[in-house]
Chains A and B, each alone.
Chain A
Amino acid sequence: MKIKNTLINARGADYKTLNEKIRAAVTANGTARITLDGVNGQRFIAAGLERHVAIVVNGVPGNDIGAFMNGPEIFIRANAQDAVGNTMSGGLLAVAGHVSDAAGYSMRGGLIVIRDTAGYRTGIHMKEYRSSVPTIIIGRAARDFLGEYMAGGRIIIFGIGSKIACGNYPGTGMHGGAIYMPSDKLPSRLPDGITSANVTTADTAVIESAAQDFARALGITRKELPSTKKTSFSVIRAASNRPYGSLYAY
């Protein structure tokens, strides 16, 4: 079957106009793939979209790309800004570059793949529920406070080309989910309330499948990522799912 491709020129369009065009293209029969050309800082691209559609972004999108979305597969051929995939429920966001702060804020399903570096507070408030397990995979590194208040889901960092995989205090206020990174690339300061341990076989399977997803999403080969056999990985988990259980006088 021939995939219908719709090309949208984003040059000079404000975010409202651009999003209207995207929505119109999505509702038009048969569109399975949209290419956005000349994107330059427009916010909220594909916010709230619930269709299974592939969107290729040429240029740098503004904040909140894919916010609340559930279904689209977005491929960004550049860096992206703040709050990539804010509260997204499902679908894929792949970034062939860096992203700024709070990527995957309160994400509850789907996959975010970041080729290079992610900013502060990546994966803050991520939550999982039953089969809906949100996942963020980062090629190089993330900044401080990774997975803050994390209540579920997975973050996997490969640390490619970086001395440390993330900045200080990953998992502050964490009460669910798991963060994986190479053991020799853990940051020097870890917060209270978490445990850091060597991965189990089940964890290794998670990392291995993340490596494959990462390679597939960015169109590279699995070999460009560290091998799960040769690299030792650590996993950060919450010490308790009741972090504030003893704070109050009843």
Chain B
Amino acid sequence: MRHKQNLVEFKIIRDRERCIQCEVCARQCAFEAHIFDADAREMESVDALCAGCQRCVSLCPTRALTVIKNPQEFRPDSYWTKNVLQGIYKQADTGGVLLSGMGTDKIYKSYWDRILLDASQVTNPSIDPLREPMELRTYLGAKPEKIELRSVGKTRKPRLAVKLAPQLRLETPIMFSAMSYGAISYNTITALARAAAKSGTFWNTGEGGFPKALYEYAPHTIVQVASGRFGVHSGYLNAASAVEIKIGQGAKPGIGGHLPGEKVSRLISETRMIPEGSDAISPAPHHDIYSIEDLAQLIGALKEATRYEKPISVKIAAVHNAAAIASGIVRAGADIVAIDGFRGGTGAAPTRIRDNVGIPIELALASVDERLRKEGIRHRASIVAGGGIRNSADVVKAIALGADAVYIATSALVAVGCHMCQKCYTGKCNWGIATQNDYLVKRLNPDIASERLSNLLKAWSREIKEMLGGMGIDAIESLRGNRLRLRAVDMTDTEMTILGIKPAGESL
């Protein structure tokens, strides 16, 4: 065998005094890092196979296990880091493109963490959300340019004279963003669908199709149309509440999706409508879209096929020119523009793409909102921002930067057990999320998981109300694009200009 140059990433430490050889760890680890040595009557571990997912640590009944980052280093070098060397060794071994799961873990400036929120003191009193009504309800879709009323009947009752475009009604401005059945398990999408229904919001099927058994959640479902058009038929389009055209994804702008054949199980094959075991390939471009005019054509076809009853969303990755592209998307007739920042997660992306392509959602969002306002077309579409939203404060900041609502995915997976090991592309997710292996899928109980997701939305919504109340605002609408309530710390002038916010300490 060839000599492997790489260092193992994790070290498994077993407290032999505590270990009772129950083999729980061996059963729990799909990467097969634990084995029972029958001769020695001892548990043994292979550090090299460990993904650092902490499953065994959590489930060991006697708390005998600790999994830590391997302290062994190559000769320290701040440029040729361990990660860099590991990548080169691995590619020299295999000749393959490096893959990763989840969003980039590289250190880039986080703008969320450099933005501070305002609160009222004395002059504009804050509101107690526990006592006063606080409105988080949000409608996504095109809004009319102006409202006209006409009076009807003897009593001259006022009625809306303009026809409203179809809208999605959200009880809280947080939706679950696209994750396909295939990338994640059936139990996971079931949990997302149930939680969306319970919390009055939406989940998104991604491009993997919409399993018939989940059609009962259709009133809370957004379906996607991507270049491979998996599982797309008129029943699929008409079942959903909205249709999203996937142009790009924050984790891998300009790159399509490949669901490897080994993940195309019987159920997946039924939902995607392709034979079992065959690769599911969605290249980056839609081959009928090479321009805004072509995009308008697909939007038109989808609107015709759904008889103008559903909002059409277009999702793009946050890239340098996002503002101009978003303007084109709105002019092409989209009702919702979804922008996905470079921190967004994925089931599998080439590592170099994940770590180096795209821009932060904060900057993309601010510039898109600004551009649409300047052009006087902001009302024609709602903006949904996603890609690295970690908590309710990020949500509040996103809305103040101009979003109507946000998409979350990584946070949702963490809520149901994901430990961010980034090995989603192996299909061996020990937490039963990013896998199609029945033995692993069973680990995620959809009832418990949907409960946890609902809890997360409930908690975030409550926190959003607290923050709004603190600002003296009683409706989320009054926060939208309200950048005066944001202040920057530790940012350059240019960054503040792009975000449209003032430095901390500067008054109105």
- Are A129 and B301 also in contact (CB < 8 A) when A70-B233, A246-B96 are? no
Min distance, Cβ B85 to any Cβ of chain A, angstroms:
15
- Within 297-329 of B, Cβ neighbours of A (below 8 Å) are at 297, 300-302, 304-307
Min distance, Cβ A173 to any Cβ of chain B, angstroms:
7
Q: Which residues in A have their C-beta under 8 angstroms from that of B232? A: 68, 87, 106
- Are A241 and B278 also in contact (CB < 8 A) when A50-B234, A106-B228, A125-B227 are? yes
1/0 per position for B274-295, CB-CB distance to A under 8 A?
A: 1101111101000110000000
Is A97 in contact with chain B by the CB < 8 A criterion? no
Binds B, one of A147-155, A198-206, A213-221: A147-155
The range of chain B's interface size is: 35 or more
- Are A124 and B287 also in contact (CB < 8 A) when A70-B234, A89-B234 are? yes
Min distance, Cβ B182 to any Cβ of chain A, angstroms:
14
- Are A245 and B279 also in contact (CB < 8 A) when A44-B300, A129-B269, A148-B287 are? yes
Bound Cα distance A62, B94 (Å): 49
- Are A87 and B97 also in contact (CB < 8 A) when A43-B297, A68-B234 are? no
- Are A248 and B96 also in contact (CB < 8 A) when A149-B281, A241-B278, A241-B279 are? yes
1/0 per position for A131-150, CB-CB distance to B under 8 A?
A: 01000000000000000110
Is B452 in contact with chain A by the CB < 8 A criterion? no
- Within 61-114 of B, Cβ neighbours of A (below 8 Å) are at 90-91, 93-99
Is A98 in contact with chain B by the CB < 8 A criterion? no
Considering the complex, give the chain B residue whose CB is closest to the CB of A240: B279
Min distance, Cβ A67 to any Cβ of chain B, angstroms:
4
- Within 58-93 of A, Cβ neighbours of B (below 8 Å) are at 63-64, 67-70, 82-83, 86-87, 89
Q: Which of A47, A106, A129, A249 is packed against the most chain B CB atoms within 10 Å?
A: A249
A249→B281 contact, CB < 8 A: no
A241→B287 contact, CB < 8 A: no
Bound Cα distance A86, B287 (Å): 11
Considering the complex, give the chain B residue whose CB is closest to the CB of A173: B281
Bound Cα distance A83, B290 (Å): 13
Residue A129 contacts which of B229, B261, B275, B287 (CB distance < 8 angstroms)? B275
A44→B301 contact, CB < 8 A: yes
Bound Cα distance A50, B307 (Å): 13
Is B219 in contact with chain A by the CB < 8 A criterion? no
Considering the complex, give the chain B residue whose CB is closest to the CB of A62: B297
Min distance, Cβ B420 to any Cβ of chain A, angstroms:
19
Considering the complex, give the chain B residue whose CB is closest to the CB of A19: B304
- Are A247 and B97 also in contact (CB < 8 A) when A43-B297, A149-B283, A175-B279 are? yes
Is A102 in contact with chain B by the CB < 8 A criterion? yes
Q: Which residues in B have their C-beta under 8 angstroms from that of A175? A: 278-279, 281
Bound Cα distance A145, B304 (Å): 29
Residue B278 contacts which of A47, A68, A121, A151 (CB distance < 8 angstroms)? A151
Is A108 in contact with chain B by the CB < 8 A criterion? yes
Bound Cα distance A124, B301 (Å): 18
B96→A250 contact, CB < 8 A: yes
Is B260 in contact with chain A by the CB < 8 A criterion? yes
- Are A128 and B275 also in contact (CB < 8 A) when A83-B288, A249-B99 are? yes
A86→B234 contact, CB < 8 A: no
Min distance, Cβ B438 to any Cβ of chain A, angstroms:
21
Q: Which residues in A have their C-beta under 8 angstroms from that of B165? A: none
A250→B99 contact, CB < 8 A: yes
Is B426 in contact with chain A by the CB < 8 A criterion? yes
Min distance, Cβ B282 to any Cβ of chain A, angstroms:
9
B301→A86 contact, CB < 8 A: yes
Min distance, Cβ B409 to any Cβ of chain A, angstroms:
22
Min distance, Cβ A72 to any Cβ of chain B, angstroms:
11
B233→A89 contact, CB < 8 A: yes
Bound Cα distance A70, B281 (Å): 24
Bound Cα distance A105, B426 (Å): 31
Residue A102 contacts which of B230, B238, B288 (CB distance < 8 angstroms)? B288
Bound Cα distance A83, B298 (Å): 10
Bound Cα distance A102, B301 (Å): 15
B297→A106 contact, CB < 8 A: no
Bound Cα distance A129, B274 (Å): 5
Q: Which residues in A have their C-beta under 8 angstroms from that of B273? A: 108, 127, 129, 132
Q: Which residues in B have their C-beta under 8 angstroms from that of A19? A: 304
1/0 per position for A227-248, CB-CB distance to B under 8 A?
A: 0000000000000011111111
Is B258 in contact with chain A by the CB < 8 A criterion? yes
A245→B260 contact, CB < 8 A: yes
Min distance, Cβ B379 to any Cβ of chain A, angstroms:
22
Is B237 in contact with chain A by the CB < 8 A criterion? yes
A176→B278 contact, CB < 8 A: yes
Is A23 in contact with chain B by the CB < 8 A criterion? yes
Min distance, Cβ A146 to any Cβ of chain B, angstroms:
13
Bound Cα distance A241, B99 (Å): 21
Considering the complex, give the chain B residue whose CB is closest to the CB of A109: B233
Q: Which residues in A have their C-beta under 8 angstroms from that of B425? A: 248, 250
Considering the complex, give the chain B residue whose CB is closest to the CB of A69: B234
8 tightest A-B CB contacts, nearest first:
A48-B305, A249-B96, A106-B229, A249-B94, A47-B304, A129-B273, A241-B278, A44-B304
Residues of B within 8 A of A (CB): 90-91, 93-99, 227-230, 232-235, 237-238, 258, 260-261, 269-270, 273-275, 277-281, 283, 287-288, 297, 300-302, 304-307, 425-426
Pairs across A and B, CB under 8 Å, 21 listed? A43-B300, A44-B300, A48-B305, A48-B306, A67-B304, A68-B232, A68-B234, A70-B235, A102-B287, A105-B229, A105-B288, A125-B229, A127-B273, A129-B275, A132-B273, A149-B228, A242-B260, A244-B279, A245-B261, A250-B96, A250-B99
